[in-house]
A and B are shown apart, each in its own frame.
Chain A
Amino acid sequence: MAPAVERHEGNLAVSAGHKRASSVSLLQEGTDAAALAEDLKKVRIYSGIVEYEDTLAALVESVDSYKPDMAVAQRLVDADKELFASLDKFKEYDEISTRLGELKGKSTALDTKTRDILEKLNECHDELNKLPYLEQVQFEMDTILEQREKINSSELLDYATKLSKFTRIPPTFDKGSIGPNNFIWPAEDALRKGMLAIAALHSRELTRIPGQDDAEDKKKQTEKPDVPEPAPVTEERRSSFVFGDTSTADDQKSSSAHSDHDDDDAMDLDLDLFNPDEF
């Protein structure tokens, strides 16, 4: 049911639109007809024809009704004279039309010629405007020469180097020849120089050897007699006997201490060939 209603409403809308369009077109036609009628009123021969028609109709009506009106007949004769008098002037109108055509042709030719000349003049004006003025060129040249004398080349190059970081590369420039100085970040050598400088400040810490440092630390500790050092608790594994081994004094002491207690073991030829240091 609803679609049917919608369709009906749509049809109504379409018909309303048609009515609106037709009314608009009717209005337009009405105004056009009124304008045409207004223009036709000015045409003398047209008015003569209309008058002729009306008078002839009146005469026909009076004659066919068996009541001929002589006044109407006289009016018809006058209208006829007027109409054909207007027709006799057609020769003059024809000449006027010919002259009007000639004048129109001449006017069009002159307008075309004038437009061509003005376009050409405009083009010349544009071309002349594109050319620089001589005084301006001389002034600019003098100014450039004066400024060139004032500018230091090194300052100019420094400024250009700074400026080039924020500008685009010229299209003709070879990108392969760009050096690190042109980057907006610090160059690699500058970074490395910075690291080396930091390393130079901490050279002792960075260049120390772990073994030597322990010995030096012990020497420092021995140089301090006031400070008692607790005896270290060593639960080290006994090292095996190695031929030609140069052991330290402590090792020798400990070995002699052990030798007192373990003579039997010393007499043993120590055939254990396992050396943990080799692994």
Chain B
Amino acid sequence: MSVEEKDLYIEEDTQKDKYLSFVIGSEEYAIDIKYVTEIIGFQPITEVPELPEYIKGIINLRGKIIPIIDVRLRFKKVFKEYTDRTCVIVINIDSLDVGFIVDGVSEVLSILEDQIVAPPSAETGFSNKYIKGIAKNRDQVKLILDCYRILESEDLEKLVEV
């Protein structure tokens, strides 16, 4: 095992089964902590023309320009005015930095693998593409977000057209 792999292994180990949970509307969602870089308060967003509505624009994060996605709009929910509770979760997937606007962040929690069940398959009419699992944690249910799906744009548009 090379040094790099070893490092990765250790890192994964400490982050294993850890999730960051956040709220959108009345639902609790969770996101794998290994993607999360930081959580920042809401800040003014520079709008960029000709983008889908759910991409609100870009912000300056200490010199890095990162795009901001409103998860609420991505889920096709109604727009909600941003408040003090509104947070931006900065995630990093495949060296791409993106900010997710969520209604509020709750906590970091452990969800063991066996607590997660797969969402109902699309054939049963369950159409939410952004969830990769449903977890029962204590007495709450958390929806585990699939970050990749949120970022894929073409895919979604095709689905909408169909």
Question: Are these two chains actual partners, yes or no?
Answer: no
**A interface list, Cβ under 8 A from B:** none
**B interface list, Cβ under 8 A from A:** none
